[in-house]
Amino acid sequence: MPLILEHGIIHLPDELLALTLEMGHHLRYDRFALSMSHVSRRFRQVALRTPLLWTRFSGDYSDDQIQAFISRSGHLNLEISSHMYGPQMLSYLLPLSSRWSSIPRIDENTESWIDSVGVSNLPRLKSSNIDSSWDIELPMHRMPMLSQIEGFGLYFTVPVPYRSQLTSVKIRFDRSRELEVGKFARAIYQLSNLRDLSLDISNPGDWDDKHPLNPMEILHPHSVPIESLQISIWGITSLKRIQPLYDCLGYLAPSSVQISLSMITSREHVNPFLCNSRNQLFPYGTTIRLRIEQACDICLILAQLLWRCSVVRSVHLEVPTALFRIDAWPSSVWLKTSSISLRHLRLQNCEELREEDVEGLAKYLLSCHEEIGVQSLQIVACKKIHMEPFLNLDEEIAKKITWSF
C-alpha cells in the first residue's frame, strides 16, 4: 500500500471508514465483507460494527459463514445474491424471509417452491430476476415493495396489485429466448409507474411476430414520461424485430436515452436500426447517447435527430468508425441554428473525425450568440483532432469548442 494512502487511512475516523466500506458494499461484489474484514485488525473491527456489509448472501458460503452473516446483519434487509443456493442455506434464511429485499430469480419452479416452504409474505422484497422461456405469472404472494425486475426471455403477466409498483425493468432477449414484440409490449403497457427500462437484444430471429400489436393498441407517441431508456442491440439482427419494437416503445418520453449498436450482422445498413417502421428516427429525450461500433452516416443521424427531437438538450456520440464527411451533405439537411434545441454535443472516440468536420459542425450548429444553437462542442479522444486552433472559425464560436485526449 502506498505510504501516503496508508497514512490517510490511519488517520481516517472510524465513522468515515465505515461509510467508505458501505459505499464499497454497493459495488455488489459478493465477498466484499469478507475481503475487507481480512485487510487488518482495524478494518475487521469496523466491518464487524457495520451491519450493512453482512446483508448479502451467496451460494458458496459455508454454514458457519451464513450464520455469522445473519448474526452481524442486525435487522437490516437481506440480499440473496446468487441462485446457487441449496437446502442448507435456505434452512437458515427461510425463517428470515420477511427481511428479504432481493431474491435471485422467479421462474416456473419458484412459485411452487415458495408455496411448499410456507412463505406467504415478502414485505421487504424490492427486486428479483425472472427467468423464463415461456409465459409466467408473477407470484401472487404479498410483495408490497417489489419495484425492480430483471428477466431473460421475459414474457410475464402482471397481476393488478403490481402494475403500479414496478418502476424498473431490465430484459435480455436472444435466439433461445426470442423477442415477441406484441407480447412484450402488452406487458410493458401495463406498468403505469415505469421509470427505467433496459433492453439487451442479440440474435432475436427474423420470423414474423406470432402476436403482433393491432395499430389501435399502440399508445400515443411520447405520451408517458420516464427517467431512462437503454437499448443494446448486437449480433445477427433483423429489422423485422427492431423496427416494430421501436413502434411499440415510441409512447415513452424518457429524460435519458442510450442506444448501443454493436457487431450487427445484417443485410441492411446500420442506420435503419435507429428508425421505426415509418423510417422515423427513434431516439427521443432530453439527453441522448448513441454508441455505434460500425460504419454509419453519423451526420445524417445527427441532422435527423435535430429535426425529429425538439426536446433534446445534450447528445453524446461514440462512433469509432463512422465517417462524418459533412461536406457530402447539402445545407438543407440541417435545421436552422436558431431552431436547434441542442445545447451540448460530445464526440468521443470518433477516430475518423477531421478538423474540417469539426468546422462544418460549428458552421451548422454553433452561433456567436448565447442561447442560440449548441453552446458546448466537446471533443474527447478523437485521434485526428490536434491542439492547433481552428483558424477558419470566428473566435466567439471557437471558444465553445473544447478537446481532450
Distance separating alpha carbons of residues 37 and 54, to the nearest angstrom: 11
Does any domain span residue 108? no
pLDDT of residue 69: 92
Does any domain span residue 396? yes
pLDDT of residue 4: 47
214, 243 Cβ separation under 8 angstroms: no
pLDDT of residue 281: 96
Does any domain span residue 377? yes
Report in angstroms the alpha-carbon separations of 118 from 86, 122, 259: 17, 11, 43
Q: Look up residue 345 and give its three cell numbers.
A: 454535443
Domain of residue 350: give its range. 302-405
Distance separating alpha carbons of residues 367 and 324, to the nearest angstrom: 20
Amino acid at 359: E
Distance separating alpha carbons of residues 49 and 36, to the nearest angstrom: 12
Distance separating alpha carbons of residues 362 and 347, to the nearest angstrom: 13
- Taking only Cα atoms into account, the Rg of the chain, rounded to an integer number of angstroms, comes to 25
Does any domain span residue 10? no
Amino acid at 218: I
Low-confidence ranges of the chain (pLDDT < 50): 1, 3-4, 134
Dump strand ranges (E) for 72-143: 78-80, 100-106, 127-131, 136-137
pLDDT of residue 110: 59
Torsion angles phi and psi, residue 403, rounded to 5: -140, 155
Residues 6+ away with beta carbon under 8 Å from 256: 227, 228, 229, 285, 286, 287, 288, 289
pLDDT of residue 3: 46
Does any domain span residue 5? no
78, 58 Cβ separation under 8 angstroms: no
DSSP annotation string for 334-346? SPPGGG----EEE
Domain total of the chain = 1
SS3 264: strand
Does any domain span residue 333? yes
Distance separating alpha carbons of residues 369 and 396, to the nearest angstrom: 8
pLDDT of residue 81: 66
Q: Look up residue 244 and give its three cell numbers.
A: 416494430
Amino acid at 32: F
End-to-end CA separation in angstroms for the chain: 29
pLDDT of residue 248: 94
SS3 37: helix
**Torsion angle of alpha carbons 226, 230, 236, 238, nearest 10°?**
30
Work out the angle between the directed axes of helices 14-25 and 41-48 (0-180°, nearest 10): 70
pLDDT of residue 135: 54
pLDDT tens for 75-111 read 999 887 655 556 667 678 878 888 988 876 665 555 6
Burial of 357 (0-12, 13-18, 19+ CB in 10 A): buried
Distance separating alpha carbons of residues 295 and 323, to the nearest angstrom: 7
